[in-house]
Amino acid sequence: MGVFDQKEFRDHQEVSFFHDRESGLKAIIAIHHRVNGRAGGGIRMREYADEQEALTDVLRLSRAMTYKMAMAGAEVGGAKTVVLGVDKSEAKLEALGRIIDGFEGRYVAGEDVGVTPEDILIIKRQTRHVIGGPDDTTSPMTALGIYQGMRAAVQQRFRQESLKGMEVAVQGAGNVAWHLMFHLTEAGAKIRIADVDSAALERASTAYDVTVVDPEEILFQDVDILAPCALGGVLNQETIPHIQAQIICGCANNQLATAADDALLQRRGLLYVPDYVVNAGGVIVGTGVLAGAGAAEIQQRVEEIYHTCQRVIEKAVAEDTGTEAAANSLAEAIIRRAPA
C-alpha cells in the first residue's frame, strides 16, 4: 500500500523514508503541517511488525502533534520521527542527527518512546534542531498538565475542586507517571499502579503509598479515574465496555484505537480527556524554550491546560458529542487561522 492510500494520510506535507547503510538506521519522518515554516515532534524508537505499521504510526502521530501544538498555543506545526527497531548505537543516533539537520530547521525533534535524554545528547552532535537532554526533561511539566486535566474533569463530573479521596488507576510507571503520582499524593488521592517493568514498580512503591495491580487488570479497576500512561490504543471496542472508571485522563499518546471509540466512550457515559490536549506539557516546554520563555511563564502555560480541558468538555456537553470530536473542532479552527 502506498503512502497516499494509507487511511492515516491526511494532507501531510512531507513524508520521508531514510536508510543509513553504514549504521543500519531505518527511519520515517512525517511533517503533517508547518506553522511559520516549522513543525515539531518527538523521535519514537519501536519494534514494528513491518514498514506499513511504522508508516501508519508516524502518519497518525504527526497529525496528532499538529492538533496538540494548536491546542497548546504553540506557533509551530506537527511532525514525528519513527525509527524501526530498538537496537541503538551511537552511529545510528548520529546518522539520525544528520538526517534531522538536513531539514534545515523546518523540523525540530525531541524525545518520545524508546529515546532517552542521553540519546538526545548524541543526536545533538550532528544538529542543533533537537531539544531535550539530561538537564532538560519535559516529564514534570507533562505530569502537571495531566493533573490539571484531571482537576477539570473532576470538577465537571463530581462538582468538586479537589482530588482528595479520589481513587486513581495509573497504567504505566514511567517518568511522567512518576511525577503524576507526586501530584496525586499531594492532593490526597489513592493510587493503584501497574507496569510490566518490575524496577519501575519498585521505585513507585518505595516512594509513594500505592497498591500494585496486575497489568492485565489495571484498565478495569473500580476507581474514579483511569490514567493510561503507557502505549496507545488501549481504549477500544474490547476494553471500553469493561472500564469502570468515571474519568479517563492520562499521558499516553493515541489512547483511542479508532475515531469511533470516542463516540463509544460518550455512549457509555465515560468522561475522556483527549490525550493530545492534556499531555501537551512537553511541547509547551519545548516550544517555550525555543521562543525564549522563562520557567515561570512555561509553568503558567501548562497550568492553563485546566481551562483548555474545561472548554473541550463544555463544548462536548453542549454539542452532545465525544470530547475528542470537540477538541478536534477547536484545534482545526486554530489551525485554519495559523500562518503556514
- What the block records as the C-alpha cell of 25 is 538506521
Backbone angles phi, psi at 173, to 5 degrees: -125, 35
| Backbone dihedral region for residue 110 (phi beyond 0: left; psi -120 to 50: alpha; all else: beta) | beta
97's CB contacts (< 8 A; 6+ apart) are 122, 123, 124, 125, 126, 127, 130
The catalytically annotated residue of 68, 80, 88, 92 is 80
267's CB contacts (< 8 A; 6+ apart) are none
Tell me if 279 sits within 8 A of 41, measured CB to CB: no
Q: What 3-state class would DSSP assign to 121? A: helix
Pairing mode, strands 210-212 and 190-194: parallel
Q: Which helix (H) or strand (E) holds 225?
A: strand 225-228
Return the amino acid letter for 249: C
Q: Using CA atoms, how far apart are residues 99 and 139, in angstroms rounded to an integer?
A: 26
First to last CA, the chain: 29
Give CA separation, 104 vs 65, 110, 183, in Å.
Answer: 20, 15, 39
Pairing mode, strands 107-111 and 225-228: unpaired
Q: Using CA atoms, how far apart are residues 283 and 219, in angstroms rounded to an integer?
A: 27
**80 catalytic residue (yes or no):** yes
Tell me if 279 sits within 8 A of 308, measured CB to CB: no
Q: Using CA atoms, how far apart are residues 335 and 212, in angstroms rounded to an integer?
A: 42
Residue 184: CA count within 13 A, CB half-sphere: 33
Residue positions annotated with a catalytic role = 80
